[in-house]
Amino acid sequence: MSRRERTTFTEADAGERVTTRVQLEMPPQAMVRLQKLKDRTEAASYAEVIRNALRLFEALVDEHEKGSEFMMKRADGELVQYRVFV
């Protein structure tokens, strides 16, 4: 996925959240995946999907750095190692 960033910084007034606008260029198939995730998770926006993905990825990286292994439990009860970082 190619990515070009364009950032806009805004200053916050008292009690306001400071935000940075980021513009991403994504191939069509990545946009289809993003739209499907937005629909499946009932997210209000693409930004919400990306923020949630960022939180999850950060948690996985933190655990990986601690030496954790990741397992998935399938519906039939089988445990399968999930290799996030190859």
Reading the chain (86 residues) residue by residue, the pLDDT tens digits are 444 556 555 555 667 888 899 999 999 999 999 999 999 999 999 999 999 999 999 999 999 999 999 999 999 999 999 998 87
Q: What is the predicted pLDDT for the residue at 1?
A: 43
In a domain, 42, yes or no: yes
In a domain, 23, yes or no: yes
Residue 49 near residue 37 (C-beta atoms within 8 A): yes
Parent domain of 63: 7-81
In a domain, 36, yes or no: yes
As a whole number of angstroms, the distance between CA 51 and CA 66 comes to 23
In a domain, 27, yes or no: yes
Q: What is the predicted pLDDT for the residue at 16?
A: 80
In a domain, 60, yes or no: yes
In a domain, 1, yes or no: no
Q: What is the predicted pLDDT for the residue at 6?
A: 61
In a domain, 63, yes or no: yes
Residue 34 near residue 46 (C-beta atoms within 8 A): yes
In a domain, 2, yes or no: no
Q: What is the predicted pLDDT for the residue at 12?
A: 58
Number of domains in the chain: 1
